[in-house]
């Protein structure tokens, strides 16, 4: 069964003014859709035609198939990104809050680290909050690199590719990061990811 493009978990206007409806429609309906379509085209009629997206990503990486890896991993990263944001401001639950305090001392310091690493990242990529070796950590990945099949458990991610913010913030990536971090990070999603066995999986 081909993988599908999951719908956004909120209306197109839900993240305005941080992320406009135009950006969401283009980013989700064109960029993300293109990754999904190219993944399906590359796996149609192969032994990966009925595989999960995580299995496709792992197989592409093992084979050194850069084209399939880029499209499949970007499909996964984008779906995780949509769920990492919410229209309504949320706060970490007690378990996440304790983990944040243990790793960074406070939520403010963690947010500052996310913003700093996201702003400093050169060119395209992602900035993640992960659970690694029993502790929270902020990590960067370049281009399509992903935590889909990692021993580290991804909790949240912010897209650093220019198409994620350029229509709304031009070249001011720090402004985009500040607004997403302060207003839209989905801490309920992070809590679910921390509590689950294994990593989040792409919706079938």
Residue pointed to by tokens 């790793």: 103
Residue 106 φ/ψ, nearest 5 degrees = -170, 160
Residues ≥6 apart with Cβ < 8 Å to 83: 9, 186, 189, 200
Residues ≥6 apart with Cβ < 8 Å to 136: 99, 100, 102, 103, 104, 110, 129, 130, 155
Provide the whole-model pTM.
0.97
Do 110 and 136 contact (CB within 8 A), yes or no? Answer: yes
Where is 167: in which H helix or E strand?
helix 166-169
Do 92 and 136 contact (CB within 8 A), yes or no? Answer: no
Residue-by-residue pLDDT tens, the chain, 204 positions? 799 999 999 999 999 999 999 999 999 999 999 999 999 999 999 999 999 999 999 999 999 999 999 999 999 999 999 999 999 999 999 999 999 999 999 999 999 999 999 999 999 999 999 999 989 999 999 999 999 999 999 999 999 999 999 999 999 999 999 999 999 999 999 999 999 999 999 997
Q: Which domains does the chain have, with CATH numbers?
A: 21-83 (1.10.287.990), 94-195 (3.55.40.20)
Counting Cβ atoms within 10 Å, is residue 68 exposed (0-12), middle (13-18) or buried (19+)? buried
109 vs 100: CA distance, rounded Å:
9
């Amino acid at each position: 069964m081909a993988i599908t493009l999951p719908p956004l978990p909120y209306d197109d206007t839900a993240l305005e003014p941080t992320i406009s409806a135009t950006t969401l429609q283009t980013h989700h309906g064109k960029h993300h859709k293109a990754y999904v379509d190219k993944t399906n085209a590359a796996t149609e009629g192969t032994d990966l035609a009925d595989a999960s997206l995580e299995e496709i990503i792992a197989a592409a990486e093992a084979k050194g198939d850069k084209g399939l890896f880029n499209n499949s991993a970007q499909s996964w990263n984008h779906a995780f990104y949509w769920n990492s944001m919410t229209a309504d401001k949320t706060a970490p639950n007690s378990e996440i809050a304790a983990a944040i305090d243990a790793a960074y001392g406070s939520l403010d310091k963690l947010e500052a680290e996310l913003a700093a690493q996201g702003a400093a990242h050169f060119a395209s990529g992602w900035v993640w909050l992960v659970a690694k070796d029993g502790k929270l950590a902020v990590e960067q990945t370049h281009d399509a690199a992903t935590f889909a099949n990692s021993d580290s458990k991804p909790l949240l991610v912010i897209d650093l590719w220019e198409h994620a913010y350029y229509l709304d913030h031009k070249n001011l990536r720090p402004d985009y990061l500040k607004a997403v971090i302060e207003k839209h990070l989905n801490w309920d999603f992070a809590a679910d990811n921390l509590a689950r066995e294994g990593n989040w999986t792409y919706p079938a």
